[in-house]
Amino acid sequence: MIYRLKRIYWQLLYRFVVKKSASNEHAKFNIHNTFIMPTKFGWSLIGVTLCLFVLGTNYQNNVILAVCYLLVSILLLAIFHNYFFFTQHEIKLESVDADFENRNLKLRGTIFSQGRYAGGELGLEYSREVFKIALSANANSPQTFQVKLPKYKRGIHKLPVIAVTATYGFGFFYCWSYIIHNKSLVVYPCIERSTAQLHNKTDKEMGSVDASSQLSTSDNLQGIRPYVNTDPIYHVSWKHVAKGQGLVTKDFVEKAGSSGWLKLSDYHHLDIERALKVICYQIQALGKSNATFGLDLGSTKILPNNGNKHLDECLYQLACYGIDTQDQKRTISDPQQS
Amino acid sequence: MMKLEKVQFTTVCYMSALTFAFILFPLMTHLMLWVIILGFCSVAVCIVRASVAMPELRNITINLFSTFCLVILLLFYQDYGLLSSMINLLVVACSLKFIMMRTAADFHLVSIVFMFLIAAGFIYNQSIFFAIYYGCAFFFVFVVTFLINKGHMTFSKSTLQTGKLLLQAVPIALLIFLVAPRLPPFWQVPKEESTQTGLSEALTPGDIANLARSADLAFRAEFFSDKPKPIERYWRAIVMDNFDGLTWSISEREKNTALLTEKNYSGARWEYLVNAEPSDSQWLYSLDVPQIAENRGEWPIFLNDNYQVFSTTVSDTRNIYLLNSYYEMPVSSERVDYSRYLQVPQSGNILTRQYIEAMNFEGLSTQQIISKIAEIFTKNPFKYTLKPPLMPVDPVDEFLFIHQRGFCSHYASAMAYMLRLAGVPSRLVTGYQGGEDQAKSIITVRQYDAHAWVEAKDRELGWIRFDPTALVAPNRMLAGLFDSLNESEKELIDESKLMRQLMELGLIKSMEDGFVMLNHNWSQMVLGYDQNSQLEIVQKLFGQANIKNLVTFLLVAFVGIAFYLVTSFLPWRKWFSTKPVSPEMILLELLQKKGFTRHKHETFSQFLNRITPQFDSSLVASLNEFEQQFYATRYSGNQDEKPLKEALNKCIKALSSKHSSSHKPTNPIVE
Amino acid sequence: MKMRADISNCVEQISHLVKGKKTEIELSLICLLAGGHLLLEDLPGMGKTTLSQALSKVFDLEYARIQFTSDLLPADMLGVNIYDSNQNSFSFHAGPIFNQLVLADEINRASPKTQSALLEAMAEKQVSIDGKTHELPECFFVIASQNPLDQSGTHPLPESQLDRFLMQLSLGFPDKASEKAMLLNQQELTSVRSVIDVAELQLLQQQVKNILVSDNVINYLLSLVELTRSSNEFPNALSPRATKAIYRAAQAAAFVQGRNYVTPEDVQFVLPAVAEHRIKGQLLNKTSSSYSEQLLSQVDPLAA
Q: What is the pLDDT of residue C244?
A: 92
Task: Examine the domain organization and report whether A136 and A199 are in the same domain.
Answer: no
Classify residue A23: in a domain, yes or no.
Answer: yes
- Could you give the residue range(s) of every CATH 3.40.50.300 domain in chain C? 2-209
Mean pLDDT, residues A259-281 taken together? 77
Give C253's contacts in chain B (Cβ within 8 Å): none
Task: Examine the domain organization and report whether A171 and A279 are in the same domain.
Answer: no
Give C 129-158 residues with CB within 8 A of chain B. none
**Higher-confidence position of A334 and A139:** A139
CATH fold of C211-304 reads: Helicase, Ruva Protein; domain 3 (1.10.8)
Q: What is the pLDDT of residue B643?
A: 83
CB of C236 within 8 Å of any CB in chain B?
A: no
pLDDT tens digits for range B293-347: 888 777 788 888 888 888 877 766 778 888 888 888 877 766 667 778 888 888 8
Give the chain A residue nearest C42 (alpha carbons). A242
CA-based end-to-end distance of chain C: 31
Give the chain C residue nearest A96 (alpha carbons). C232
Contact criterion met (CB below 8 Å) for B250 and B238: yes
Classify residue A143: in a domain, yes or no.
Answer: yes
Q: What is the pLDDT of residue C158?
A: 79
The yes/no answer to whether this complex scores an ipTM above 0.85 is: no
Contact across the interface for C260 and B605, Cβ inside 8 Å = no
Q: How many Cβ contacts (< 8 angstroms) between chains B and C?
A: 45
DSSP secondary structure of B432-480: EE--EEETTTEEEEEGGGEEEEEEEEETTTEEEEE-HHHHH-HHHHHT-
Give the chain C residue nearest B636 (alpha carbons). C261
Nearest CB to C150 within list A94, A95, A237: A237
Q: What is the pLDDT of residue A196?
A: 39
Mean pLDDT, residues B205-214 taken together? 63
- For residue B122, pLDDT over 60 is answered with yes
B113 pLDDT tier (thresholds 50, 70, 90): very high
CB of C29 within 8 Å of any CB in chain B?
A: no
Task: Work out the minimum CA distance from C197 to partner chain B, whole angstroms.
Answer: 30
Task: Name which of C262, C271, C265 is nearest C301 in CA terms.
Answer: C265
- For residue B503, pLDDT over 60 is answered with no
Mean pLDDT, residues A291-306 taken together? 76
Contact criterion met (CB below 8 Å) for B482 and B92: no
Q: What is the pLDDT of residue A317?
A: 83
- Strands A184-188 vs A99-100: parallel, antiparallel or unpaired: parallel
Task: Examine the domain organization and report whether A227 and A262 are in the same domain.
Answer: yes
Give B636's contacts in chain C (Cβ within 8 Å): 212, 214, 259-261
Give B 97-126 residues with CB within 8 A of chain A. 104-105, 108-109, 111-112, 115-116, 118-120, 122-123, 126
φ, ψ for residue B450, nearest 5 deg: -60, 145
Alpha-carbon gap, residue A296 to A301, rounded angstroms: 5
**Which chains have at least 3 CB atom pairs separated by less than 8 Å from chain A?**
B, C
Task: Name which of A309, A303, A203 is nearest A253 in CA terms.
Answer: A303
Task: Examine the domain organization and report whether A152 and A44 are in the same domain.
Answer: yes
pLDDT tens digits for range C264-279: 999 999 998 898 888 8
Classify residue A190: in a domain, yes or no.
Answer: no
Classify residue A101: in a domain, yes or no.
Answer: yes
Residue that terminates a domain, selected from A182, A212, A246:
A182
- For residue A330, pLDDT over 50 is answered with no
CB of A237 within 8 Å of any CB in chain C?
A: yes
Mean pLDDT, residues B590-607 taken together? 82
Alpha-carbon gap, residue A222 to A237, rounded angstroms: 13
Mean pLDDT, residues C184-206 taken together? 81
CB count within 10 Å of CB B275 equals: 23
Task: Examine the domain organization and report whether A15 and A75 are in the same domain.
Answer: yes
A273 pLDDT tier (thresholds 50, 70, 90): confident
Q: What is the pLDDT of residue A45?
A: 93
Mean pLDDT of chain A: 75
Residues of B with CB under 8 A from a CB of C: 584, 588, 598-606, 631, 634-637
Mean pLDDT of chain B: 80
- For residue B386, pLDDT over 90 is answered with no
Task: Examine the domain organization and report whether A157 and A216 are in the same domain.
Answer: no
Number of domains in chain A: 2
Task: Examine the domain organization and report whether A143 and A252 are in the same domain.
Answer: no
Give the chain B residue nearest A130 (alpha carbons). B2
Alpha-carbon gap, residue B163 to B145, rounded angstroms: 12
Task: Calculate Rg over the CA atoms of chain A.
Answer: 29
Task: Examine the domain organization and report whether A10 and A154 are in the same domain.
Answer: yes
Task: Examine the domain organization and report whether A175 and A200 are in the same domain.
Answer: no
Q: What is the pLDDT of residue C31?
A: 92
**What percent helix, strand, coil does chain C show, rounded to 5?**
50, 15, 35
Which pTM was predicted?
0.60
Of the candidate CATH numbers 3.30.750.24, 3.40.50.12780, 3.40.50.300, 3.40.50.2300, the domain formed by C2-209 belongs to 3.40.50.300
CB of A73 within 8 Å of any CB in chain B?
A: yes
SS3 C168: strand
Give A237's contacts in chain C (Cβ within 8 Å): 150
Mean pLDDT of chain C: 84
Give B154's contacts in chain A (Cβ within 8 Å): 137
pLDDT tens digits for range C12-47: 888 888 888 888 889 998 998 898 899 888 877 788
Q: What is the pLDDT of residue B504?
A: 55
Classify residue A311: in a domain, yes or no.
Answer: no
Give A 138-197 residues with CB within 8 A of chain B. 167-171
Contact criterion met (CB below 8 Å) for A164 and A124: yes
Mean pLDDT, residues C100-127 taken together? 86
Task: Work out the minimum CA distance from C70 to partner chain A, whole angstroms.
Answer: 13
Mean pLDDT, residues C126-132 taken together? 82
Task: Work out the minimum CA distance from A64 to partner chain B, whole angstroms.
Answer: 6
Give C154's contacts in chain A (Cβ within 8 Å): 234
Name the percent of chain B lying above pLDDT 70.
86
- For residue B447, pLDDT over 50 is answered with yes
Task: Name which of A310, A217, A292 is nearest C151 in CA terms.
Answer: A217
Task: Name which of B310, B281, B308 is nearest B297 in CA terms.
Answer: B310
- For residue B216, pLDDT over 80 is answered with no
- Going by C-beta distance under 8 Å and a sequence separation of 6 or more, which residues neighbour residue B344? B243, B417, B420, B421
Give A233's contacts in chain C (Cβ within 8 Å): 149, 284
Q: What is the pLDDT of residue A200?
A: 40
- For residue B212, pLDDT over 70 is answered with no
B190 pLDDT tier (thresholds 50, 70, 90): low
Classify residue A333: in a domain, yes or no.
Answer: no
Contact criterion met (CB below 8 Å) for B16 and B143: no
Contact across the interface for A242 and C43, Cβ inside 8 Å = yes
Q: What is the pLDDT of residue C221?
A: 92
- For residue A324, pLDDT over 90 is answered with no
The region of weakest confidence among B5-19, B114-128, C141-155, C232-246 is: C141-155
Task: Examine the domain organization and report whether A90 and A162 are in the same domain.
Answer: yes
- For residue C242, pLDDT over 50 is answered with yes
pLDDT tens digits for range B161-187: 899 989 999 999 999 988 888 888 887
Alpha-carbon gap, residue C118 to C97, rounded angstroms: 8
Name the percent of chain C lying above pLDDT 70.
94
Task: Work out the minimum CA distance from B102 to partner chain A, whole angstroms.
Answer: 16
B667 pLDDT tier (thresholds 50, 70, 90): very low
Residue that terminates a domain, selected from A133, A149, A182:
A182
SS3 C273: helix
Give B605's contacts in chain C (Cβ within 8 Å): 263, 265
User: DSSP label at B286?
Assistant: B
CB of C296 within 8 Å of any CB in chain B?
A: yes
A42 pLDDT tier (thresholds 50, 70, 90): very high
- For residue C105, pLDDT over 80 is answered with yes
- Going by C-beta distance under 8 Å and a sequence separation of 6 or more, which residues neighbour residue C129? C75, C78, C79, C80, C81, C92
Task: Examine the domain organization and report whether A218 and A174 are in the same domain.
Answer: no
Task: Examine the domain organization and report whether A153 and A38 are in the same domain.
Answer: yes
Q: What is the dihedral of CA A29, A35, A36, A38, to 10 degrees?
A: -140
- For residue B644, pLDDT over 80 is answered with yes
- For residue B670, pLDDT over 70 is answered with no
Question: The domain containing residue A154 runs over which residues?
Answer: 2-182
Q: What is the pLDDT of residue C248?
A: 92
Task: Name which of B344, B253, B331 is nearest B288 in CA terms.
Answer: B331
- For residue B393, pLDDT over 90 is answered with no
Contact criterion met (CB below 8 Å) for A147 and A170: no
- For residue B405, pLDDT over 60 is answered with yes
Q: What is the pLDDT of residue A49?
A: 94
φ, ψ for residue C153, nearest 5 deg: 85, 5
- Going by C-beta distance under 8 Å and a sequence separation of 6 or more, which residues neighbour residue B125? B26
Q: To probe the interface with A, which of B138, B150, B298 has the most A CB atoms within 10 Å?
A: B150
Helix (DSSP H) and strand (DSSP E) numbers for chain B? 27, 17
Say which amino acid occupies B289.
V
Residues of C with CB under 8 A from a CB of A: 43, 147-154, 232, 284
CB of A71 within 8 Å of any CB in chain B?
A: yes
Q: What is the pLDDT of residue A335?
A: 36
Mean pLDDT, residues C43-55 taken together? 83
Contact across the interface for A234 and C150, Cβ inside 8 Å = yes
**Higher-confidence position of B4 and B536:** B536
Q: CA triplet B223, B225, B230: central angle to 5 degrees?
A: 65
Contact across the interface for C265 and B636, Cβ inside 8 Å = no
Q: Residue C249 belongs to what H/E stretch?
A: helix C240-256
SS3 C78: helix
